[in-house]
Amino acid sequence: MTKVDKRKITLRIIWWIYIIALFLLVVIKFHGSTSGIISRIENNSLPGSINYNLIPFRSIGTQLENISEGWARYNLIGNIVPFMPFGFLLPIAFRKINSFWKVIGVGFIVDLCIEVFQYITKTGSFDVDDIILNMIGIALGYLFVKFINTQFVRK
């Protein structure tokens, strides 16, 4: 096995570890106990509970209006930062997905699947604003890796 093959395998292992961690910590919000997940599913299954937001910037607007509140900052940052590694790991681990639009396209499809999964399983809600914030994180991650490559690697 060549050095390049070992590097490729290592990067893909890192990618899949990240995806598993993202799923556990961000998507289903597993924090060591299934009781929190079960409670969230039960609460989201109550009659009259709303499990989706299809209006862009509805929750983002509320969060920006309340930016001095910890919950608002937590939600904004918590939907951007965890997706930044997606934007910089994807083109490193999978060399064919190397353009901004390819990364954004794959990111959008994965993010849409996450939101649909949360809606169907009631482990969370389908929120178009989460998709917007997650996509900002993916784009920032991609731009970060491109900046690093142009400034430090490919000179």
Helix residue ranges, H only, the chain: 3-22, 34-44, 58-65, 70-80, 84-93, 100-121, 128-148
- Angle at Cα 105 formed by Cα 50 and Cα 82, nearest 5°? 60
pLDDT of res. 9: 95
CA distances from 63 to 70, 77, 96, 111 (A): 10, 11, 37, 20
Q: What does R_g of the chain's alpha carbons equal in angstroms? A: 17
- Enumerate residue ranges in the chain where pLDDT < 50: none
Q: What would the pLDDT profile of 89-104 be if each residue is shown by its tens digit?
A: 999 999 999 999 999 9
Q: What is the 3-state secondary structure (H, E, C) of 69-89?
A: CHHHHHHHHHHHHHHHHHHHH
- Angle at Cα 131 formed by Cα 130 and Cα 132, nearest 5°? 90
Task: Show Cβ contacts of residue 8 under 8 Å, excluding neighbours closer than 6 positions.
Answer: 93
pLDDT of res. 33: 83
Rounded Cα–Cα distance for residues 93 and 64 (Å): 34
pLDDT of res. 154: 61
pLDDT of res. 118: 93
